[in-house]
Each structure stands twice: as C-alpha cells, then as structure tokens.
Amino acid sequence: MISPTTGLPPTATPLTLSGIDAALRAAWSADTCSPDDLERTPWSAENPAWGHCDITALLVHDLFGGVLLCGDVRSSAGEQQGHHWWNRLPSGLELDLTREQFILGQQISTPRTVIRPPGPLRRQAEYELLWRRFGAAAGLVLSDDGEAGEATSAPDSHPADERP
C-alpha cells in the first residue's frame, strides 16, 4: 500500500482528472466491488462505480492527501444501506468519483470527516488489486511487487461497520 502523498511513483505523462477517471473505470470490476454492495445488487459494467467508493476514496487520498468524507446511504424509502466515501482535497474541493453509482434514488447524508483507517483494511486485497490495475491503466511506474511504499497509521475514528 502507498503512503498518502509520499512515495508516489513517477508517471510517464502527467495525470489529469479525466485520466484518473478513465484509469479507475478500467480498474473497477466485480472482484473489487464491496461484498456488502454485491449482496444488494450485482456489479455490472453499466454501473462500474457500484461498490467502489471506499477503496476509490482511499486511492484518491493516497494520490492527493486531503480529508476522507463519509456519509450514510439511505434508500429512496429511507432504509439504511451502508456508507458512502469521497474526498475533500487540500484545496477544499470535494471530489466524489463514485457518486454516479446511486441510480435508484438513494440519498447521502451530510458527510462527516473520518481519519484514514490504520493498518490493513477490511478490504485490503481489493484495495491492492484496484491500486495495481489503476496504476497500470494510468501509466504509473510501480515497483516489482506492485507497491509504491508503506501504509501510515492513524487512530481509528469511525465505527467498524463503515471501515473500508
């Protein structure tokens, strides 16, 4: 896993927002989708962002730093359906590269700031797979093991059920 904003590998060409978006779309798949979301709705190429908000927000955090945001997801009928993660970049701009996944009228609550989870993630394998695929699609130069540094730790500041 890479450290937030440090130890990033050089790129052959500069990253652009459209390039990041395209690389994420190439990296998202059923095997990187959240198992919790897969129980509700299968992953499909027609809704590629489905179930990828947590590990995508962490990847964006690794690239740019900033703050992780998390809100509750409620169905159009008001039923709790999990959590949605996105980013607030150091500039203050909020960036949500997976908001489009909510096509059934789901609503997202006002976000709360969360500290990056310490140590291995609940979805560590999916995060690492997403990072490797993203890196390849974005033209990042990765080490032989597909990694670009070590993870940092921070105190846990959110309930375990919303951990990525």
Where do the domains of the chain lie?
Answer: 17-143
* pLDDT tens, position by position, 133-164: 999 999 886 654 444 433 333 333 334 445 56
Mean pLDDT of 50-77: 95
Q: What is the pTM of this model?
A: 0.79
Taking the CB of residue 133, how many other CB atoms lie within 10 A of it?
19
DSSP code string of 87-138: EE-TTS-EE-TTGGG--S--EEPPPEEEPPPPSS-TTHHHHHHHHHHHHHHH
SS3 59: helix
Residue at 123: amino acid letter: R
